Amino acid sequence: MKNILSVILVLVAGAFCTLDAKPAPGVTRTTETCGDPTLAAPFYRTYSTTRAQHGMCLNLALSLSNSFPTWNYQALVAFVFATQEESTVPFYQMVNSATGDRIYTTNATEVTALEKTRYGPAVAEPVYYIYPTQICGSVPFYRLSKAAVHDHFYTVSEADRITAIDSQGYADEGIAGYVFAPEPTQC
Ligand SMILES: *[C@@H]1O[C@H](CO)[C@@H](O)[C@H](O)[C@H]1NC(C)=O
């Protein structure tokens, strides 16, 4: 009986040791270390038909209530982080107070340049966090612009990107960063 008890105790202690396992002291994380994808939040696109402009946000209800009534939900475009996760960088949201144009960028030099014009950080959600390179299962977040209506448009869809360039008058502005794509819809 005593022997069985001590065997059980050893087994139980062993289980706890496994659960308690931690990296050895001094283990450094590499730049490939990923953020926790379960913490990534849905990033929504809004659109104003009267302004022909796009916006993006995490808090859709707040964003729609803060904006002019002509703004509507358009699509779930990506998953991004609301707080800084491993290997992510800030994705700043800059709003032009005159035109309403919203630029999302990881480029701090661009933010400084924009601040010298009519752009300033968005009040409700000034910053998100995304990957600066294609790691951790992320995909390119394409950036496009249409100067005629002061709009910037972002998409993970290669097809939407090509349509915007070929038939909607948008200019290609490269890749803004790397985000998680939403699951393809089952329809
Ligand atoms: C960052 O923004 C500045 C100012 O707009 C631009 O000159 C520079 O090329 C940008 N850097 C990258 C890596 O895109």
- Looking at residue 12, its pLDDT comes to 45
- Looking at residue 26, its pLDDT comes to 52
Kindly state whether residue 186 falls inside one of the protein's structural domains.
no
Asked if pLDDT for residue 176 goes beyond 50, the answer is: yes
What distances in angstroms separate CA 168 from CA 162, 174, 184, one per listed residue? 9, 17, 24
Q: Please tell me the total count of domains within the chain.
A: 1
**Pocket test residue of 91, 92, 104, 109 for ligand 1, highest count of atoms within 8 A of CB:** 109
Q: Whose CA is closest to atom 13 on ligand 1?
A: 107
CA of 172 to the centre of ligand 1 (A): 15
Q: What is the mean pLDDT of residues 168-187?
A: 88
**Pocket test residue of 94, 104, 106, 110 for ligand 1, highest count of atoms within 8 A of CB:** 110
Q: How confident is the model at residue 52 (pLDDT cuts 50, 70, 90)?
A: very high
Integer Cα distance of 117 and 148 in angstroms:
18
pTM above 0.85, yes or no: no
Q: What is the mean pLDDT of residues 80-107?
A: 96
- Looking at residue 152, its pLDDT comes to 98
Q: Under a CB-based contact definition with an 8 Å cutoff, are residues 37 and 180 in contact?
A: yes
Kindly state whether residue 187 falls inside one of the protein's structural domains.
no
- Looking at residue 88, its pLDDT comes to 96
Ligand 1 contacts CB of residue 109 (under 6 A): yes
At 92 the three-state DSSP class reads strand
Kindly state whether residue 52 falls inside one of the protein's structural domains.
yes
**Pocket test residue of 103, 107, 178 for ligand 1, highest count of atoms within 8 A of CB:** 107
Q: Under a CB-based contact definition with an 8 Å cutoff, are residues 119 and 96 in contact?
A: yes
Ligand 1 contacts CB of residue 173 (under 6 A): no
Domain with 69, as residue range(s), is 2-179
Asked if pLDDT for residue 4 goes beyond 60, the answer is: no
Asked if pLDDT for residue 119 goes beyond 80, the answer is: yes
At 79 the three-state DSSP class reads strand
Kindly state whether residue 185 falls inside one of the protein's structural domains.
no
Q: What is the mean pLDDT of residues 59-88?
A: 88
- For 124, half-sphere exposure in the C-beta direction (CA atoms, 13 angstrom radius) is 13
Integer Cα distance of 143 and 164 in angstroms:
11
CA of 159 to the centre of ligand 1 (A): 26
Kindly state whether residue 105 falls inside one of the protein's structural domains.
yes
CA of 114 to the centre of ligand 1 (A): 11
